Structure 1
Amino acid sequence: MLIHLKNVLTPEELHQARTVLNTASWLDGRATAGPQAVQAKNNEQLPQTSEAARALQTLVRQALNRHAIFFSAALPKKIFNPLFNRYGGETNYYGQHIDGAVMHSRSDDQRVRSDVSCTLFLASPDEYDGGELSIADTYGSQRVKLPAGDMVLYPSTSLHEVLPVTRGHRLASFFWVESMVRSDEQRRLLFDLDMNLLRLRERHGECAETTALTGTYHNLLRMWADT
């Protein structure tokens, strides 16, 4: 499933992130790519252990911790420490690839199975041309270019690419989630049920039906979750 999460970062957090990124030192993104991805990757990336990256990782994690819809959609068991990249100029694209199954963080030496891929946009769409995240799914290729502070979640099994940036710079944070519920189909069912329960409560308040459906949600989660 492909899910658009709005306003993950507040305007103040976004301003803070941009201030750090505007003065950061970037390295060739191919330095962190595997043998297959290195053939397709042509961007810049913040070193994982740099002071700038650590400050921004804390900012992004705090934002994720308060975002209830992120939790409902991803059901995180582990979150890979957020990374940060830049596209523009001569380093302006990332060709078609599928993310590795297990990601190893050089920052905290943690290994995370990639169930859900996440891209948090840090530049406004009018700041750059091109740079869409193109994701292949069941219904064809979906192109994603979101407002700064918004995030997209999609299955890590998806073939995807970042199209060439022809003007300006595309800035983003990206990371992976190892979910308590490994199956994308099961996560989708749980997310749909949770969102519809939310709408029912907003419309009718708490009632016998919402209580019963909440029980169904948690019984399914209990059946499928691995903690």
Structure 2
Amino acid sequence: MLIAIERVLDKGEVGVFRARLDGCAWQDGAATAGGLARSQKTNQQLAEDDPVGVALGEDILRRIGANPLFVSAALPNKIYPPRFNRYAGGGAYGAHVDSALMRAPRGELMLRSDLSATLFLSEPDEYDGGELEIEGPFGVQSVKLPAGDMILYPASSLHRVTPVTRGARVASFFWIESFVGDEGQRTLLFDLDQAIQGVTPLAKAGDENLLKLTGVYHNLVRRWAVT
């Protein structure tokens, strides 16, 4: 399941993020890749302890924590602190699968990566290439969203970033451990929750069928969630 979440940041907020990131010291991103992926990764990243990156990452966490669509889709239990990368001058990241288990900076948090997230911080017309290509049961889906929008997708999927041949692609990326680790179960819960939200404005107060549907949703969460 791929979920695009619009306007996590508005255009003014994107501008503030970019201005702060432009003054940072970018490092070779290959240093953080695993053995198989290292040769496929030619980008730049901020250090995990970069103070600007840490502050902006905390801002992102506050925003997505209050975003109903993100919460509905991810059912987040733990979130890896957001990081930042930059692709330019042919930079790319070849096909890879994200590590299943990740330890956050300073060993404060260990999580299972159920979902991956990319928050775009460059407008599509600022750069050529740089599409996030995600392989799934219906083929390859190419993602290149407006600045401020975010894509949420299974961390288990094979995915890549195509070479950036003009301009620069700047983004934030992070991973989520969901209370519901099974993707199929999580997708069913998301569809049910979105349907409930869609019919709620149309139903009368105290509608019995709506109450029953809401009960089914929460009881399925109880059955499937692992804390």
Work out whether the TM-score is over 0.5: yes
Given the superposition, is the C-alpha separation of residues 205 and 52 from structure 1 closer, same or farther in structure 2, using an over 3 Å criterion?
farther
Residue in structure 2 matched with residue 89 of structure 1 by the alignment: 89
Displacement of 1:41 after TM fit?
0.8
Give matches, 1:146-165, under 5 Å: 146-165=145-164
Given the superposition, is the C-alpha separation of residues 18 and 108 from structure 1 closer, same or farther in structure 2, using an over 3 Å criterion?
farther
TM-score where L is the length of structure 2 = 0.96
Q: Deviations over 1:53-105 (max 9, x none)?
A: 11111111111111011011000010000010000015x10000000001122
Indicate the SS of the match to 1:100.
coil
More displaced stretch, 94-103 vs 56-65: 56-65
Indicate the SS of the match to 1:161.
strand
Residue in structure 2 matched with residue 10 of structure 1 by the alignment: 10
TM-score where L is the length of structure 1 = 0.96
The whole-number CA distance in structure 2 between the counterparts of 1:162 and 1:172 is 12
Q: Number of paired residues?
A: 226
Give matches, 1:67-216, under 5 Å: 67-90=67-90, 92-107=91-106, 109-206=108-205, 207-216=207-216
Given the superposition, is the C-alpha separation of residues 25 and 205 from structure 1 closer, same or farther in structure 2, using an over 3 Å criterion?
farther
Q: Which runs of 5+ in 2 are unaligned?
A: none
Partner AA of 2:209 in structure 1 = E
The whole-number CA distance in structure 1 between the counterparts of 2:176 and 2:211 is 29
Partner AA of 1:11 in structure 2 = K
Q: Contact 1:49–1:107 (CA<8 Å) still a contact in 2?
A: no
The whole-number CA distance in structure 2 between the counterparts of 1:106 and 1:210 is 43
Residue in structure 2 matched with residue 24 of structure 1 by the alignment: 24
The whole-number CA distance in structure 2 between the counterparts of 1:54 and 1:65 is 16
